[in-house]
Amino acid sequence: MYGGGNTFEGVKTDSVAKEDLVKLAEFEARIARGEKIEPADWMPELYRKQLIRMIEQHGHSEIIGALPEGTWITRAPGFKRKMALMAKVQDEVGHAQLLYSAAETLGKSREQMIDDLITGKSKYSNIFNYPTFTWADCCFISWLVDAGAIVNQLANAKGSYGPYCRALERICAEESFHLKYGHHCVIYLAAGTTKQRQMFQEALNRWWPPMMHFFGPSDKISTHTEVLMRWKVKMGTNDEMRNQFLDMYVPKIRELGFTIPDPNLKKNTTTNKWEYTEPDWEEFKRVINGGGPCNKERLEVRRIAEERGKWVREALKSSTTAYVTPLA
């Protein structure tokens, strides 16, 4: 589950000028023809760097995203929910596995990626730095955070890098289960008792602001790098993704009789764009830089998990193993 556009920083494009112009032209022609780039192809340094960053962040978001929902596995009400949630959180771990593998084909080792996650050097989706207070929070994530992720992932699946696209195809197929499951959970809360409805309304109130942050800073304040769009690394702007999500899900939330906690949220029928209260980007920045309610816990849990598993991995490490980059 990943919402893309995670930072404000612009991208330094200086390195592009130093590339071999003939190779660069071939590379761009291949993308323009709609052909995918494969690991063995020549690629500009900036392309490789940005893809590693993006795929790695996506992978981190999956493994960290397994935590706020994972906590409800042991408490899910009834067999149907229990088994579904076990399978869903497992899928998130599986997505991390797929994404790390795709990033590896670009030359960064899984060891380095995990280290960079735990030390805080690489980022992950900000939304997972918030706690899940009740079962309804967990349902919010399963339905709407996954819905947001799908908007982003479907766009990225049309990108130019073969291994990332293949991983995303598999991921999107699994996410369709997550989305249906999440919606199913919320329908049951909506049609349930007063207490159940109230639980979801409260979750919606808590999660709406981070949900608006999910797609990244507004286009007005974030930098766009035209070259990354041309190379099909970035497939849409943050505001486009956010708008698409609102288009698809605001009616579905309202249909269930819940109130989205933003009095200014409405669709402008002339521009066909959603208008809303500007999300608090200072809060977003603060949370990205470690100041959210759960940043510390999330990284600490990952650190402990890695440390506890160390003896297992050390025991099985063979002296004959040699690392080679995975193929595809």
Binding residues for another protein restricted to 167-206, rule: CB under 8 A: 167, 174, 176-177, 179-181, 183-185, 187-193, 195-196
| 63, 106, 144, 147: which one binds another protein (CB under 8 A) | 63
Binding residues for another protein restricted to 207-246, rule: CB under 8 A: none
Pull the structure tokens for residue 74: 């042991």
Q: Is 22 in the site for another protein (CB under 8 A)?
A: no
Q: Which residues contact 66 (CB under 8 A, 6 or more apart)?
A: 89, 92, 93, 96
Distance CA 122, CA 115 (A): 9
- Closest of 192, 183, 189 to residue 251, by C-alpha: 183
Q: Which is nearer to another protein, 131 or 261 (CB)?
A: 131
Q: Is 92 in the site for another protein (CB under 8 A)?
A: yes
Say how many C-beta atoms besides its own lie within 10 A of residue 143's C-beta. Answer: 24
| 98, 168, 204, 212: which one binds another protein (CB under 8 A) | 98
Q: Is 96 in the site for another protein (CB under 8 A)?
A: yes
Distance CA 16, CA 49 (A): 12
Q: Which amino acid is at 4?
A: G
Binding residues for another protein restricted to 285-324, rule: CB under 8 A: 296-297, 300-301, 303-318, 321-324
Q: Which is nearer to another protein, 140 or 274 (CB)?
A: 140
Binding residues for another protein restricted to 151-170, rule: CB under 8 A: 162, 165-167
Q: Which amino acid is at 79?
A: F
Taking CB under 8 A as the binding criterion, the range among 14-22, 46-54, 82-90, 266-274 that sits at the site for another protein is 82-90
- Closest of 168, 93, 175 to residue 141, by C-alpha: 175
